[in-house]
A and B are shown apart, each in its own frame.
Chain A
Amino acid sequence: MSLEERELEVLIGPQHPASGHMRMIAKIDGDIVVELRPNIGYVHRSVEKLAEAKKFLQIIPLVERPSLADTTANNLAYVMALEKLLGLEAPPRAQYLRTLLAEINRIHSHLYGLGIHGVMIGSSTAYMWCFGDREPFIELAQELTGARLSYSYIIPGGVRRELPSRFTEKVEKALRYMENRMKDYFNLYLNNPVTRARLEGVGVLSKEDAIRLGVAGPNLRASGVPYDVRKVEPYAAYPDIDFDIITEKVGDAFARVMVRVKEIQESIRIIRQVLKKMPEGPILHEKYIKAISPKMREYMKETGEVKFPGIFANLRIPAGEAISRVEGGRGEVIFHIISDGKMSPYRMRMVTPSFRNVILFEHLNRGVRVADIPAIYGSLDYFPPEADR
């Protein structure tokens, strides 16, 4: 029999536990994948087009929706682009609060990714643990912002709320809990021979290929490229904070998982520093505070909740162009905003890490076994709504 005749085309997804909201079209020969093509667009909701019809402030919740498990990154990147165009910077306390939320979000976003990965390689324990341990951090974020996942916490010129009372203690409690849990993760999941056998040496991405394909986030760092926007172009409070870029050398599925796990530990370190160094001061740019009525200013002082100044409703952004980037849980989020001085952007380009990692499906799944597809997929922490936008 010739090779062509033995090849079989298999459609995996979109209704499949190992596919999420996408379809993979695999050509297989026996148990070996000859070629795999991602068929995306199942969650394309046209964020870029809708943004052109919404006002600048209304876009904040819109850009959060594509990556619901990691909303702070999108929120922050978008607002940073606006701030670049407005030519203002948030006061230091607001920057620290942003960092705090971003790191809390990073932890629960990584746990989300690890949990989904657990489902994909058939380890229910990992799923249950990760999703259970995600909750304390979601709760922290909820206390800070008022929402479980879609925070919309960061606004042009500052943040929306003050730190709640006794927040530091609660954070410390959650961090200590997570640190203890980390040991269990290593013992029962990461050093588990079954996990290792499924992940080690699977889906190896070499450093050269990672660079060539423009991969983003932990997937890039797992291949040994120490690129992290927080260090390369520091934003928010990161310039004052001491942390390491986590890298691995091997670039296989296990390395990608390890980077996430170690980044959780690193985030714990960052959060402690942020809370210790948090400066006093306003949480909104003085230009906007002045625009709030005195009565509302009183209210703000009492409750720590920012009341939006009237100009926010019809916020006009000066004409121009701005590019901002932020290191989110899944990687680098890029906003390229072109404004023509009106109340909505002329063009908003949003490039999410998942979209940049789509290319890996084709690249990594060549010549692997069919059972490795979910292991590779899961290790990429790919979130289809984020890729399709």
Chain B
Amino acid sequence: MWVANLDKAAKKAAAWLINKTPIRNIRDWGIAFSLWPVHFTTSCCGAEFAAAVAPKFDAERFGFLPFIGIRQCNVLFIEGTLSKKMGEAAKWVYEQMPEPKFVVAMGACGIDGGIFWNSYNIVRPKDILPVSVFVPGCPPRPEGIAQAIIMLQRKIRKGELVKYEF
């Protein structure tokens, strides 16, 4: 019992500390520049996403590098239309990512179905996932993706998205 209480107290102290101003700022600053999107292509926007991390547009300079294992990632990029089948998969992927995690929806399809708005086989990302940033365009240009990354970083640094609770 005694040990358990100590544990709890330590956790509380950590939570207090990590949400306190100087440390919190450092924390958010750190997160903002270590964004690891999951390697999860959902639709044709993936072609432009791939171009965005390639040499010319080089998203890595924002601290943004696609990674393979879901367990080591914190950003889920919905690259365009989510079909019903893919929507299920997107939910699984999202659930398996560790906190803090962010969702960005790419393309007109990511917003409201785009050119496929009346298709019988799509879901809107906003209905199944908490999307923080939308990127308009069909497909969005790689610059648009860069802009989305910067917006996401700003949001993180404002402390809007990351909350540690113990």
Q: Hey, which bits of chain A sit against chain B, CB under 8 A? A: 14-17, 20-21, 41-46, 49-50, 53, 61-62, 65-69, 112, 115-116, 127-128, 131-132, 134-135, 138, 148-150, 385, 388
Contact = CB atoms under 8 A, between A and B. Distances in A.
Given A14-B89, A135-B56, A62 B115 contact: yes
A17 B68 contact: yes
Given A115-B50, A127-B54, A14 B43 contact: no
A68 B83 contact: no
B86 A131 contact: no
A41 B83 contact: yes
7 contacts: A14-B89, A43-B81, A61-B115, A68-B48, A115-B50, A115-B54, A128-B54
Interface string B59-99: 00000000010100000000001010110010011000000
Those 9 A-B pairs whose CB atoms lie nearest each other, nearest first: A131-B54, A132-B55, A68-B44, A68-B47, A135-B56, A46-B119, A42-B86, A15-B40, A45-B116
B41 interface: yes
Max chain B C-beta neighbours (<10 A), residue from A14, A132, A135: A14
B46 A21 contact: yes
Interface of A (DSSP majority class): helix
A45 B139 contact: no
Contacts of A127: 54
Contacts of A65: 44, 115-116, 138
Contacts, number: 102
B122 A45 contact: yes
B120 A15 contact: no
A50 B55 contact: no
Contacts of B89: 14-15, 42
Contacts of B162: none
B40 A45 contact: no
A17 B116 CA distance: 26
Max chain B C-beta neighbours (<10 A), residue from A20, A43, A138: A43
Contacts of A150: 138-139
Contacts of A132: 54-56
Contacts of A131: 50-51, 54-56
A340 to B, nearest CB: 21
A15 B95 CA distance: 13
A149 B142 CA distance: 11
Given A21-B41, A45-B122, A61-B115, A68 B68 contact: no
B47 A112 contact: yes
A328 to B, nearest CB: 15
Nearest to A39: B85
Nearest to A139: B56
Contacts of B121: 44-46
A126 B56 CA distance: 14
B44 A15 contact: no
B132 interface: no
B5 interface: no
Contacts of B55: 128, 131-132, 135
Contacts of A61: 115
B39 interface: yes
Contacts of A44: 83, 85, 121
Given A17-B68, A21-B43, A385-B44, A43 B120 contact: no
A132 B139 CA distance: 19
A16 B67 CA distance: 10
A175 B54 CA distance: 20
Given A17-B68, A45-B81, A50 B43 contact: no
A25 to B, nearest CB: 14
B105 interface: no
B38 interface: yes
B21 interface: no
A46 B139 contact: no
B43 A46 contact: no
Contacts of B81: 43, 45
A116 B50 CA distance: 9
